[in-house]
């Protein structure tokens, strides 16, 4: 059985989709991802436009406007479903980690 392509999102994918809850062009998406992630995630143009192409092909996002070379996008209903499923998956991971690790992850002990 083939694994669904967007079953688990990478961090850049996740933050790009969050960014596209509002209509944005490529430059604004890169800035938004950095802002939302508090500088932890930076998406370069090569990665961004490759992912936008894949997302658009799979109807996860749609192009909303083209002005010269500037293209704007927004998330679709399908994209929202994928984003919500990923959010729920991540919450489960955190809950499981909290349940099994508890406060251990905050200890200064070396394992």
CA nearest to 24, candidates 58, 62, 59, 79:
62
pTM for the whole structure: 0.85
Distance from the Cα of residue 51 to its chain's centroid: 10
Residue 102, pLDDT score: 76
For the stretch 67-100, pLDDT in tens is 999 999 999 999 999 999 999 999 999 998 888 8
């Amino acid at each position: 059985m083939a694994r669904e392509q967007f079953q688990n999102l990478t961090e850049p994918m996740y933050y790009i989709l969050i960014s596209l809850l509002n209509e944005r062009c490529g430059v604004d998406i890169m800035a938004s991802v950095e802002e939302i992630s508090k500088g932890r995630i930076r998406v370069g143009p090569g990665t961004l436009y490759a992912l936008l192409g894949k997302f658009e092909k799979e109807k996860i996002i749609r192009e909303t406007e083209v002005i010269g070379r500037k293209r704007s996008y927004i998330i679709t209903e399908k994209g929202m479903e994928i984003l919500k499923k990923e959010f729920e998956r991540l919450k489960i991971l955190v809950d499981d980690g909290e349940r099994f690790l508890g406060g251990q992850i905050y200890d200064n002990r070396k394992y």
